[in-house]
């Protein structure tokens, strides 16, 4: 008798398939690296982004970039 892996059942839905319009996403470390890319991608998918940053000036620069790439 073969056992079925529970990991398959628990795997999250790929982010590209989840409707993000109307959702709010909080991103820490959103001014660089993975956080910045995640913020950009989710904003392009229609999510409202709450960006957490240690540097206010870097946060403003990142927000301006996000508004250019995902104006809605």
DSSP string of 11-71, one letter each residue: PPPPGGGS--TT-EEEEETTTSHHHHHHHHHHHHTT-EEEEE-S-HHHHHHHHHHHHHH--
Please determine, for residue 48, whether its predicted confidence score (pLDDT) is greater than 90.
Answer: yes
- The pLDDT confidence band at residue 11, using thresholds 50, 70 and 90, is low
Q: What is the mean pLDDT of residues 46-57?
A: 92
Q: Is the pLDDT of residue 5 over 70?
A: no
Average pLDDT for 47-63: 92
Does the reported pTM lie above 0.75? no
Q: What is the mean pLDDT of residues 36-62?
A: 92
Whether 24 has a pLDDT exceeding 90, the answer reads: yes
């Amino acid at each position: 008798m073969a056992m079925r892996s529970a990991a398959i059942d628990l795997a999250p839905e790929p982010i590209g398939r989840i409707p993000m319009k109307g959702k709010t996403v909080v991103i820490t470390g959103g001014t660089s690296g993975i956080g910045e890319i995640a913020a950009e991608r989710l904003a392009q998918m229609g999510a409202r982004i709450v960006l957490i940053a240690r540097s206010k000036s870097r946060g403003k620069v990142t927000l301006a970039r996000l508004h250019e790439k995902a104006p809605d």
